[in-house]
Structure 1
Amino acid sequence: MNASVIMTTYNAIEWLEKVLWGFSVQTVTDFEIIIADDGSTAETKARIDALRNLISIPIIHVWQEDHGFQKTKILNKAILAANSDYLIFTDGDCIPRKDFVETHLKYREKGYFLSGGYFKLPMHISNAISKDDIFKQRCFNADWLKANGLKSSIKILKLTASGFFAKALNALTPTKPTWNGHNASGWKADLLASNGFNEEMQYGGEDRELGERLVNMGLSSKQIRYSAICVHLDHARSYVSEETWKKNREIRAFTKVNKVTRTSNGISRD
């Protein structure tokens, strides 16, 4: 098992199924999928069980009761459930291109974590993408997306860049290689050493804070936003609040100033 792909979900069955179809057609197959479920109803479990019979990649469903937004807590449970020493993180609303896992494995290196991005789709295209569009990779094709109403933008380079051009854009982009929960990967040993995600944090920079602790530990990060490609399906965010953002910004500031390497509110309670 070369990798464990960890994805989060919460009562978004149609989006999750599209993402799982994306992982079913990867160019490499020696990985497992761990669904970190933050309290979805039994309907999600039933759909996952049905998909297990259709997808050859092993699927582990890690679930916890719904007590509000507890993404960091379910991700820590998923880390412990992983059977591989290399973990790839994404979300249950991000369909991976067929070389997504292969790219993360290609660029992995001891002493580093990898930082990818996503290409955000509007709701009407998110709804329009079919299983066949995923299998034939049409949802990553700029012409197909434009034919379905996507507005032209320089951001389309995230989908069209390849080879040397993609590497050049990775090097030249002003975007910092941070830990992005929708597209990041690292060694399980490093995540355990940092004690995983800070469970005191809810939505808003909770992924970045983990990456900041990894950097404080001495790790470096690699930018692969133009190489490891996924498309983000649109959805509402009812869990966003300014109060939570303020608290998370304070935690991140403390982490940076004090060079924190290990959270006391993570996988284990210190």
Structure 2
Amino acid sequence: MPHTSVIISIYNQPKALAMSLAGYRRQSDTDFELIVADDGSDDEVRRLVDGFRAEAPFPVRHVWQENRGYRRAKIANTAVRESVGRLILLSDGDCIPHRDFVRVHRAAHRPNGFSVGGYVRIGLEESRALTPEAVARGEHERHLTPAIRRAHRWKHLHNLFYILIGKRDRPKAYGANIGVDRETYYAVNGYDENFDGFGKEDSDLRNRLRAYGAVAVSVWGKAFVFHLDHGLDDKRPSGPGRIRGDNPYYYRSHVPARCENGLVKTPPGLP
């Protein structure tokens, strides 16, 4: 049974996903399964995953739900229910992992804990110039410059301070770079599926993990993903429920550690 379950959320970005998958083939720690959590893509993504599965040195699965707008929280929970790893590692299909991405999160894994890292942004022209073959050679990692490393270390120090003083909305949560202990993810009932539409579901998960008392670990400066420009794929998410915007649900007055509409559906009035 693999130690880690990597959950990659995707919607109709096959070019980006091909490079993301190539990044997982070169991981220094291969004791993981990979589940593509598909929020309603067409068959091109399924065919890509099927082809990758035939060659990957680790288990690969594809879970899919009907396209009814942005429902990343729901499909991520579905993927987690089908996973087996003790560590749930959440990422996105438009992000290429650093070679040590899985290894760093695994080293940070602890009972009742979660780890959060950052990202390196790759511009549109640089994203277009990359290929899965180039990723296999590690060429994307040249974007991790000394200046960016210093900036990430500085953010890491900020996170350590905010964790120390108990600030609820830190460490800064980036949804493509979060590791959560499996039992702890279940304790807070996973992602809140009331986030139906783009925005804030990752921050909400972080806030509820902190409210539950989970131990926060910053891996900024250690665990990196490389975020490809959204213009890379012509089939970029669009349409109702797929537009970026602030989510008023995030700012509700009372946020319990365990959400009602998550991995397990809690009927109203029950604890």
Q: Please tell me the TM-score bracket, short chain as reference.
A: 0.7 to 0.9
For residues 181-260 of structure 1, the aligned pairs below 5 Å read 181-201=175-195, 202-235=197-230, 238=238, 239-242=242-245, 245-251=246-252, 253-255=253-255, 260=256
Q: Report the Cα offset of residue 131 of structure 1.
A: 2.3
Structure 1 residues 58 and 207, CA, compared in 2 at 3 Å: closer, same or farther?
same
Structure 1 CA distance for aligned equivalents of residues 65 and 244 of structure 2: 22
Structure-2 separation of matches of 1:183 and 1:91: 8
Aligned twin of 1:79? 80
Whether the 8 Å CA contact 1:204–1:248 is kept in 2: the answer is no
After TM superposition, give the deviation of residue 104 of structure 1 in Å: 0.6
* Contact 2:156/2:218 (8 A) holds in 1: yes
State the distance in 1 between where 2:84 and 2:113 align.
20
Residue 8 of structure 2 is matched in structure 1 by 7
Look up the equivalent residue of 2:229 and give its one-letter code. Answer: D
Native 8 Å contact 2:53 2:61 kept in 1: no
Distance 2:55 2:74 in 1: 29
**1:77-103: CA deviations, max 9, x gaps?**
011011112111110011001111011
Contact 1:114/1:221 (<8 A) preserved: yes
Structure 1 position 132 matched with structure 2 position 164: no
SS at match of 2:254: helix
TM-score (norm: length of structure 1): 0.85
Deviation at 1:240, TM superposition (A): 2.3
Residue among 130, 138, 148 paired with 1:155: 148
Q: 1:112 maps to what in 2?
A: 113
Q: Distance in 2 between matches of 1:111 and 1:269?
A: 22
2:219 maps to a residue whose letter is I
State the shift of 1:169 in Å: 6.0
CA RMSD of aligned residues (A): 2.2
User: Is contact 2:101–2:223 with CA below 8 Å preserved after alignment?
Assistant: yes
Query: Any idea what the Cα deviations from partners look like across 1:110-152, whole Å, max 9, x if unmatched?
Result: 232101110111111111112232122121114xx89xxxxxx
Amino acid at match of 2:70: F
Q: Any stretches of 5+ residues in structure 1 without a counterpart?
A: 147-152
Rounded to whole Å, the distance in 1 between the matches of 2:259 and 2:155 is 34
CA displacement, residues 214-258 of structure 1 (integer Å, 9 cap, x when unaligned): 11111121111110011000115642254xx2423324x531xxx
TM-score between both structures, scaled by the size of structure 2: 0.85
Which residue of 2 is the match for residue 150 of structure 1? Answer: none
Q: Which runs of 5+ in 2 are unaligned?
A: 163-169, 232-236, 267-271
Q: Measured at CA, do residues 246 and 22 of structure 1 come closer, stay the same or move farther in structure 2, by a change above 3 Å? A: closer
